[in-house]
Amino acid sequence: MNYLTKKTVQSLIPIRKKSSYKGDYGKVLLIGGNESMGGAVMLNALAAVYSGAGLVTVVTAKSNHAALHAQLPEAMVIDWNNQQQIEAQLNTATVIAIGSGMGTSQESLALLNFIFSHITNDQRIIIDGSAITLMAKYNIAVPNQQTIFTPHLGEWKRLSGLEPRTQLPRLNQIKRDQLNAIIVLKQHRTEIYFKDEIWQNQAGNPAMATGGMGDTLVGILAGMIAQLSNLKAGILVAVFLHSYIGDQLAEKQYVVLPSQIIQQLPVLLKELADSNN
């Protein structure tokens, strides 16, 4: 077991070159947010933009479009029923994240299958929430070898068949190998299962136990792995930053809100980037 700390990620923060533009920092495509859970994909988008992704596009139910534009004018938005526009974005996306607030309806299942049918081997894909449940229920294959699952303990049970009490590192790693995917197992001390090693986050606190926290992590993951060519480095940075900011806020707060973590992302990234110069 490797331990994820500030010292681990300090040197991994991407440094922005003086001569660069938005295209240098990745194109993120986020799919989720049905009519009643639009906030989930909005948190994805806010976190991806605030963590530095160059371009962010959101595929969501049409009823969420006005709220998304009001929250985040920096993001583009597509109706999740418009397959032609979705396919055009899929063709150019660096990172795809799917599942947050998507729901498990037949419409959501059809959308998931459509997205997976267009994934290429060089794209990075994050699978969260409802998409994990759908994959487990319908035995849908992992789309490529750069797939990242972000389950909580209950979702990991559906995907792996392991009861929470038996979700021990050795058994989790066996299930990871069977899936051939990276697993970010969300818990008090989040564990990350790569092919060759396991990491345990040393940051995080109970003040972060509130709705939308996992959606925020997905957005940070998308933003960081869009910018960093090293996939493992991007995941480690994202997981740690999410919890480390939460720890800082929890020093003075009983509850930490996902939106507060998002607001602090550019500040902490600047501090860490400057300390590397």
Question: With helix as H, strand as E and coil as C, how does the chain read?
Answer: CEEECHHHHHCCCCCCCCCCCHHHHCEEEEECCCCCCHHHHHHHHHHHHHCCCCEEEEEECHHHHHHHHHHCCCCEEEECCCHHHHHHHHCCCCEEEECCCCCCCHHHHHHHHHHHCCCCCCCEEEECHHHHHHHHHHCCCCCCCCEEECCEHHHHHHHHCCCHHHCCHHHHHHHHHHHCCEEEEECCCCEEECCCCEEEECCCCHHHCCCCHHHHHHHHHHHHHHHCCCHHHHHHHHHHHHHHHHHHHHCCCCCCCHHHHHHHHHHHHHHHHHHHC
Structure tokens at 100: 């947050």
Q: Which of 7-16, 85-94, 97-106, 233-242 has the lowest mean pLDDT?
A: 7-16
Give the mean model confidence (pLDDT) for residues 35-52.
97
pLDDT the model gives residue 275:
85
Pairing of strands 55-60, 124-127: unpaired
* 132-144 residue pLDDT tens: 999 999 999 999 9
Average pLDDT of the chain to the nearest whole number: 96
| Tens digit of each residue's pLDDT (9 = 90 or more) over 218-275 | 999 999 999 999 999 999 999 999 999 999 999 999 999 999 999 999 999 999 998 8
Burial class (CB in 10 A: 0-12, 13-18, 19+), 270: exposed
d(CA 126, CA 214): 12
Cβ atoms within 10 Å, residue 87 = 13
Instruction: Give pLDDT tens digits for 177-210.
Output: 999 999 999 999 999 999 999 999 999 999 999 9
